[in-house]
Structure 1
Amino acid sequence: MMSDAIHAGNAPKAVGSYPHARRVGNTLYLSGIGPRDPQTNAIAGNEYFADGRVRKYDIEAQARAVFANVRAVLDASGARWDDLVDVTVYLTDMARDFKAYNAVWAEHFPDAAAAPCRTTLGITALPTPIAIELKCVAQLKE
């Protein structure tokens, strides 16, 4: 089966040696996507101490930025928002952020019956100072 790597020009650069997405047949697998700004690499909602440590962050701003970055990868792949079938969400502070994240999710997927499946995991850290990352799978129309 044919496999095509996708590198999206309007999405943040990968933090490692991997594509933004890979299409295998009619299935699109997105690599983990975070809230970094594609042009500046800034992280939405982060405020820092003088030494560079994160002082505080805004999970709603990061969630909206993640969704925008997912859309950019979908667009570059020839997919649409409603092609998403499965999303894994990684939160670094489940207790603090789940409710606010869930509200942003509902803004982007107002019809729960049409929303993709979702699994949300609480984890201790991500590779950059972000509080959220999404791993998505989409089914493309022929």
Structure 2
Amino acid sequence: MEITRFLLGDGPKRVAPFSHAVRAGDFLFVTGQMPTEPTDNTRCVPGGIEAQTHQVIANLKAVLAGCGADWNRTIMARIYLTEFARDYAAMNAIWEKSFPEGGLPARTTVGVTGLALGALVEVDLIVAL
């Protein structure tokens, strides 16, 4: 199986040493994206879980575009929330609207004690190519 690693010069700036995504066969594994502005990896966007969820989705879509992949072919997502009870419903409302009706991927959502940069949310993906 051929493996291709993507380190995107025009993708969201990385907050740690990782590839933005790795292609293995017909699947793309996308590293968890943070709610940082694409050109500033030193802080999260302000505005709470709503703003951060929108930014994470935008960053994921930017990575997918840089890899030639399609958001609507996402088959699995893992979502990490630092304030699970408080933010779960608001994040879900935004998440659901980001996919076409009937097009939601499989998903796991996990409450965690902390994320890089004090983020409230992080999401990684597996996408079919």
Fold shared by both chains (TM-score > 0.5): yes
Does residue 68 (structure 1) correspond to residue 69 (structure 2)? The answer is: no
SS of the equivalent of 1:134 reads strand
Q: Work out the number of aligned pairs and report it.
A: 128
Deviates more, 1:2-11 or 1:14-23: 2-11
How far 1:110 sits from its partner (Å)?
A: 4.4
SS of the equivalent of 1:12 reads coil
Higher fraction of helix: 2
The structure 2 residue matched to 1:80, chosen from 70, 83, 96, is 70
CA RMSD of aligned residues (A): 1.3
* Distance in 2, Cα, partners of 1:124 & 1:28: 27
Structure 1 unaligned residues grouped into runs of 5+? 46-56
* Distance in 1, Cα, partners of 2:53 & 2:71: 15
Tell me which residue corresponds to 2:15: 15
Residues 3-58 of structure 1: CA distance to partner in whole angstroms, max 9, x if unpaired?
A: 1111223432222221000001110001111111111334112xxxxxxxxxxx51
Deviates more, 1:13-22 or 1:131-140: 13-22
Q: How does 1:1-142 map to 2 (within 5 A)?
A: 1-41=1-41, 42-45=43-46, 58-111=48-101, 113-140=102-129
Higher fraction of strand: 2
Deviates more, 1:36-45 or 1:73-82: 36-45
Q: TM-score, normalised by structure 2?
A: 0.93
Structure 2 unaligned residues grouped into runs of 5+? none
Q: TM-score, normalised by structure 1?
A: 0.85
Residues 5, 23 of structure 2: 8 Å contact kept: yes
Give the structure with higher Rg (CA).
1
SS of the equivalent of 1:133 reads strand
* Distance in 2, Cα, partners of 1:93 & 1:10: 31
Misfit runs of 4+, over 4 Å = none
Identity of aligned residues (%): 38
